[in-house]
Amino acid sequence: MRLTKPTLFTNIPVTCEDRDLPGDLFNQLMKDDPSTVNGAETLMLGEMLTLPQNFGNIFLGETFSSYISVHNDSNQIVKDILVKADLQTSSQRLNLSASNATVAELKSDCCIDDVIHHEVKEIGTHILVCAVSYTTQSGEKMYFRKFFKFQVLKPLDVKTKFYNAESDLSSVTDEVFLEAQIQNITTSPMFMEKVSLEPSMMYNVVELNTVKQAGEGMSTFGSRTYLQPMDTRQYLYCLKPKQEFAEKAGIIKGVTVIGKLDIVWKTNLGERGRLQTSQLQRMAPGYGDVRLSLEAIPDTVNLEEPFHITCKITNCSSERTMDLVLEMCNTNSIHWCGVSGRQLGKLNPSSSLYLALTLLSSVQGLQSVSGLRLTDTFLKRTYEYDDIAQVCVVSSTIQVES
């Protein structure tokens, strides 16, 4: 017999108005019913509990518990009884018996009881195999088996999206944002006890699922973290490279393993379930041999007035030194100020240099900063950088807030 938590007893209230033919009969019957709540007889939910009437559903991540009883129906004493319980899945066979010791004898009308537990880690068909061997009074060895087949269902649908954030105005580079969409695909509500991300060894993680209210962190989902059937929630995490890896662009750019999600929930009367995803992997951003990123740029600039940006150029190669030349190509709206084709010098492997540049825009509106070219004179290879960032260009008659 499967061991599960009971359910709250429900009844169907039947009532009528006083002027109807039954009068107060239905109301009085509901008041006398011991399963109803005193003073709230018309509620379907009662104060009593109902024992499980069938096997029910079992979901991945829950703990399967079963009560096994071997009863001697005969009028003879049997000896050397061995009870064995195995769980057969699509990939393995597990021994769930608490003890494999042989029971010396079992008298008539007596029984051997055992309770087994197993955390379900596979979906699909499972078969509980109960095998019993014993010896009769005449010395004959007997053996029989019983099979109990059940299906393990999937409780949650988990989808992930990765967003690679290149270095911006902050000092932190190579941030990765993870959006996890979790949907309850069961037929009953879930209490989401914990949804956390365990990062890989190269990253630290910051959860972005709380907001500050009165100095305290409040969940973005409110105080009641229930997930109704077929409802979906989005959880957001920011992963930042650890300091020792953030300084090595050649190492961090190739990292695809981010970490794994740990999800804990509770269902009917506190029955607990837990799922851990496999290692989540992202597509590593392809920076090539040279990476150019922006360290500083204004949000809004005046029309036809110079403004300044700061770029960071990183040699992503772990072996080769580069000799770089910078070319600045004007576009229809963006014009670079300074000498194009200047030598930047040699850049060692996995090292960076900072470059201050000046430019102006001849067109109002949201303009894209483009037109930078880096040439490695050693390999005669040119790297093009367009749409690096966007700035809002306004008329000089409008005061730009500093």
pLDDT of residue 172: 40
Provide the CATH number for the domain formed by 156-284 in this structure.
2.60.40.1230
For residue 246, what is the DSSP state? H
Domains 60-154 and 156-284 share a fold: yes
Q: Using DSSP bridges, classify how beta strands 58-59 and 141-153 pair: parallel, antiparallel or unpaired.
A: parallel
Domain boundaries along the sequence of the chain: 1-54, 60-154, 156-284, 290-394
CATH of domain 290-394: 2.60.40.10
pLDDT tens string for the chain (402 positions)?
A: 888 877 777 777 777 777 777 777 777 777 777 777 777 767 777 777 877 777 778 899 998 888 889 999 988 899 998 999 999 998 889 888 877 788 888 898 899 888 899 999 999 999 999 999 999 888 889 999 999 898 999 999 999 988 877 544 333 456 788 999 999 999 889 999 999 999 988 888 989 888 877 777 788 887 777 899 999 999 999 988 887 776 555 555 556 788 899 999 998 788 889 999 988 887 665 556 888 888 889 989 999 999 999 999 888 777 888 899 999 999 889 999 998 998 998 988 888 899 999 999 999 999 999 999 999 988 888 888 888 888 999 987 755 554
H helix runs in 123-233, sequence order: none
CATH topology of domain 60-154: Immunoglobulin-like (2.60.40)
Question: Each residue of 136-169: b (16+ CB within 10 Å) or e?
Answer: eeeeeeeeeeeebebebeebbebebebeebebee
Cα 323–327–328 angle (5° rounding)? 150
